[in-house]
A and B are shown apart, each in its own frame.
Chain A
Amino acid sequence: MQDHSDKELLTLFRNSNTRNYAFEMIVRKYQERMYWHVKKIIISHEDTDDILQNTFIKIWKGLENFREDSNLFTWLYKIATNEALNFLKKKKRRSLWSLSDTENNLERELESDPYFNGDELQMKLQKAIVTLPDKQKIVFNMKYFDEMKYEDMAKILDTSVGSLKASYHHAVKKIEKYLNEN
């Protein structure tokens, strides 16, 4: 299988004969990055898998109308982020959880996650991250782990660079405080 650029993939997708092939290529190209992005927000593998499936179904349905105002990856990331945030909102509403209950629940999921393979310090960092508000959590993950540019993050999260910098700054301070206290 050859590597295609996003532009080529979009052209292939618009051709009904190569649509399925192009879509499979898009899934192969971006599935891992999208999985890890969602996983770090949601923690549970099963829930992340469900969200990713829904994300790709939405992409399949919307890709024909994608206008290329933004690049493909930004658009994919945006859908995955929204799906993950909506999932958390629904979960909170369903369970009538308070904020701290949600954090405790995510922490429990983290401790019992069979797919966590890191050391003690990495676990502590992940626990610190789940205590952050959703927006700060996403911003921290994208900046710290994915080393994404603020400008790209701003397009994905529909916000300003200044606001992202402030969110990251607050997130780092809270994480540092957590690491020192625990």
Chain B
Amino acid sequence: MKFDQATFMKKNNKITPRLPEIRKDNPYTVPPGYFEEMPGRIRSLVTEGGDQIPKLSPAERVWQVIKPQIALVAAIAGFAFLGYHGFRFVTETRHPDVSGDQISEFIKFNYYSFEHSSILSLMDEEEFYEDFYYYDEEMDAYIEYLKQESDLDLYAILEEF
């Protein structure tokens, strides 16, 4: 179908009743003398400074494009590395070199497979009672004295020591 400018404008005018109310002239201005000075400024840029803009090789241009992306990936990888090792450090400090399996094995052994007879046999051995047979006469005298003196001020004694 051939484009009909008049129909198009008519159609647009139907949906744009407010646009024709608005002045169509340029509402902007420029600083005084701007366009008069521009050719001189451009001339000095292209003849003196314009060539100072470095000409990049294709490899350098590619590098300039991918550099920010690489920096972003490196930053994300850095954060992931620190996060992972930080987490590992914290969890391993709490349970160094002990896995969950080892802990469950330990509980299983000590709770279910503990042999009470081993304690009893240990108690039968003479060395077990050696410490209980330790006898101190001076200590015995203190104990006897304390047993007899019922009105002792225990707080005063505690404060003394």
Contacts and interface: CB of A to CB of B under 8 A. Distances in A.
A57 B45 contact: yes
Contacts, number: 91
A8 interface: no
A63 B15 CA distance: 43
Contacts of A118: 23, 27-28
Contacts of B15: 172-173, 176
B145 to A, nearest CB: 84
B50 A57 contact: yes
Interface string B103-132: 000000000000000000000000000000
B8 interface: yes
Given A56-B45, A121-B22, A176-B18, A27 B39 contact: yes
B93 interface: no
B16 interface: yes
Interface stretch (B29-37, B80-88, B136-144, B147-155): B29-37
B34 to A, nearest CB: 8
Given A121-B22, A173-B15, A175-B19, A165 B3 contact: yes
B64 interface: no
A20 B43 contact: yes
Contacts of A123: 27
B30 A176 contact: no
Q: How large is the interface on B (under 10, 10 to 19, 20 to 34, 35 or more residues)?
A: 20 to 34
B6 to A, nearest CB: 14
Interface residues of A, number: 41
Interface stretch (A30-38, A69-77, A99-107): A30-38
Contacts of B16: 172-173, 175-176
A117 B29 contact: yes
B75 interface: no
Contact of B31 (A115, A125, A144, A161): A115
A110 to B, nearest CB: 10
A60 B19 contact: no
B24 interface: yes
A122 B27 contact: yes
A92 interface: no
Contact of A31 (B3, B17, B18, B39): B39
13 contacts: A32-B35, A36-B26, A39-B28, A57-B46, A61-B50, A115-B30, A117-B27, A121-B22, A122-B23, A161-B3, A165-B8, A176-B18, A179-B18
Interface of A: 20, 23-24, 27-28, 31-32, 35-36, 39-40, 45, 52-53, 56-57, 60-61, 113, 115-119, 121-126, 144-145, 161, 165, 169, 172-173, 175-176, 179-180
Interface of B: 3, 8, 12, 15-19, 21-24, 26-31, 35, 38-39, 41-43, 45-47, 50, 53
Q: Which 10 A-B pairs have the closest CB atoms?
A: A118-B27, A60-B46, A179-B18, A122-B27, A176-B16, A27-B39, A121-B22, A56-B42, A117-B29, A115-B29
